[in-house]
Amino acid sequence: MFTRSRRNLARWFTLSMGSILIVFAGVLYYQEAVEQLALKDRLLYKKARVIAASVQYELQQGQGRVDLSNVPFLGNNPPPADTEVIYAGWYDRLGKLRQFFGAPPPEQLSAAFEFQTIKTTNDLPLAKSKVSWLRQLTLPVRHKGQLIGYVQVAILMADAQDALRGLLMFLIMAVPIALGVISLTGWVLGGLAMQPIRFSYEQLQRFSADASHELRTPLAAVLSNAQVGMLAPLDQGASKHLRLEKIAEIAKSMNTLIGNLLFLARQAGHLSPEFLKEVDLTDLLGELIDFQSTTIAAQHLNIKSDLPEQSIVVLADPDLLHQAVGNLLSNACKYTKAGGIVQLRLYTQSCSAVIQVEDNGIGIPATDLPYIFERFYRVDKQRARETGGFGLGLAIAQQIVQAHGGHLSVKSEVGQGSIFQIELSIHKN
């Protein structure tokens, strides 16, 4: 699926960038052609103007005549190679050829005036091949406002064509190479773009698989308890009650698990400000210790609280914060042997409020530390199951702290204990 998407991304990238490249190459070629033509036309116009200026009108004959000696680049016949002029003709006002230089121009002036591109198969002095393209300009010449004839000049287009051919060859070679580079870039970029999606997809898949697996175990227990209850008609009284109690207990833990899963699925990103209240952490942690005191006493643990006298206020959802610190406290109790110490601290550090939950319990191996905030991750699966854990408590605590823009970290050593620390920004009025 990901390879197909990556291929599609690369294909679309190549197609779009390739089309842009081809259009760009076309525009470049067109502009060069226009530029070359404009260059030729300027040159042609200059030459035609010089020839037109050399026309001498002979009144008695009512005819014009071109004086060659006045035309600097047409002094010889044929014209010197560097003039580029293929022919220059002088036509009378009826369009009949009177004089010419270079290759013979048409005898009769064609109807089309001004600039013209024409193809010729004549053997031309400067032409490299049999078929040549010429640019021709026909200028009307007037004497005292009266039309006396036309000057027609043609130059060879070969050098402009050579320049265009060179550009075309370059584009023909460069465009496929650029297309190859673009498709390779598209493939690499497609891979990079797919990476986070692939990662999230794999995480989601693992999460769904873990969640289904966690739900299957208690469901199987409910089913077997119910089936045994149905099979044994004599299963009455205390035994039946025990089975129903077991089913209710499993259903309760499943309910907790589903609640946790729903929380993790729904709560993403930062909390919106309308859910945030000014919360006094000193009060909140005090209430939490009262709340957990029965569990702590039942497990024969010693709790020490180190809370400041003054209030430390943060902007938070009090229920969520209660749940996050509650998860850390209940873990500290779960993973500390009877007689151990659990400590709850609150203090300020520059602009942050720091909550620490410390225990001198079993600790967490260094190899497991990077993963303990992942969903369903448990260091000792058997032990965690015995203590009723699904491996979601820390993931939920971290998600809550992050939703408040805070930070949750851990330090732990096997056999020594663990310190979980929450940092939140202090709210200043």
Does residue 341 sit in helix, strand or coil? strand
By C-beta, is 281 or 301 nearer to ligand ADP?
301
| Interacting residues with ligand ADP between 282 and 301 (CB under 6 A) | none
Nearest to 336 by CA among 291, 304, 369: 304
Is residue 285 a contact partner of residue 306, using CB atoms and an 8 Å limit? no
Nearest to 157 by CA among 176, 131, 183, 177: 131
What is the size of the binding site for ligand ADP (CB under 6 A)?
Answer: 23
By C-beta, is 126 or 328 nearer to ligand ADP?
328
By C-beta, is 102 or 361 nearer to ligand ADP?
361
Q: What is the nearest approach in angstroms of ligand ADP to the Cβ of residue 423?
A: 18
By the rule CB under 6 A, 210 interacts with ligand ADP: no
Is residue 104 a contact partner of residue 78, using CB atoms and an 8 Å limit? no
Is residue 133 a contact partner of residue 157, using CB atoms and an 8 Å limit? yes
Give DSSP secondary structure letters for 69-102. GG-GGGSSSSPPGGG-EEEEEEEETTSBEEEEEE
Q: What is the nearest approach in angstroms of ligand ADP to the Cβ of residue 24?
A: 56
CA 347 to chain centre: 43
Among 393, 400, 408, 422, binds ligand ADP (CB under 6 A): 393
By the rule CB under 6 A, 321 interacts with ligand ADP: no
Q: What is the nearest approach in angstroms of ligand ADP to the Cβ of residue 406?
A: 18
By C-beta, is 70 or 343 nearer to ligand ADP?
343
Does residue 415 sit in helix, strand or coil? coil
By C-beta, is 382 or 429 nearer to ligand ADP?
382
Is residue 121 a contact partner of residue 64, using CB atoms and an 8 Å limit? no
Among 372, 400, 401, 424, binds ligand ADP (CB under 6 A): 372
Element housing 54 (H / E): none
Q: What is the nearest approach in angstroms of ligand ADP to the Cβ of residue 375?
A: 8
Is residue 136 a contact partner of residue 116, using CB atoms and an 8 Å limit? yes
By C-beta, is 282 or 323 nearer to ligand ADP?
323
By the rule CB under 6 A, 399 interacts with ligand ADP: no
Contacts of 16 (CB under 8 A, 6+ apart): none
Encoding tokens for residue 397? 């605590």
Q: What is the nearest approach in angstroms of ligand ADP to the Cβ of residue 378?
A: 3
Among 284, 364, 422, 424, binds ligand ADP (CB under 6 A): 364
Q: What is the nearest approach in angstroms of ligand ADP to the Cβ of residue 396?
A: 8
Among 14, 325, 335, 404, binds ligand ADP (CB under 6 A): 335
By C-beta, is 292 or 418 nearer to ligand ADP?
418
Among 389, 404, 408, 424, binds ligand ADP (CB under 6 A): 389
By the rule CB under 6 A, 149 interacts with ligand ADP: no
Write phi, then psi, for 86 (nearest 5 degrees).
Answer: -85, -45
Among 85, 359, 360, 400, binds ligand ADP (CB under 6 A): 359
By the rule CB under 6 A, 394 interacts with ligand ADP: yes
Among 155, 313, 332, 401, binds ligand ADP (CB under 6 A): 332
By the rule CB under 6 A, 171 interacts with ligand ADP: no
By the rule CB under 6 A, 331 interacts with ligand ADP: yes
By the rule CB under 6 A, 340 interacts with ligand ADP: no
Peptide bond preceding 105 in cis form (omega within 30 of 0): no
C-alpha to C-alpha distances, 231 to 224, 241, 245, 422, nearest whole angstrom: 10, 15, 18, 52
CA 198 to chain centre: 15
By the rule CB under 6 A, 89 interacts with ligand ADP: no
Sign of CA dihedral 387, 389, 394, 396: negative
Nearest to 8 by CA among 254, 147, 186, 153: 186
Among 85, 149, 390, 404, binds ligand ADP (CB under 6 A): 390
- The residues binding ligand ADP (CB under 6 A) are 327, 331-332, 335, 359, 361-364, 372, 377-380, 384, 389-395, 418
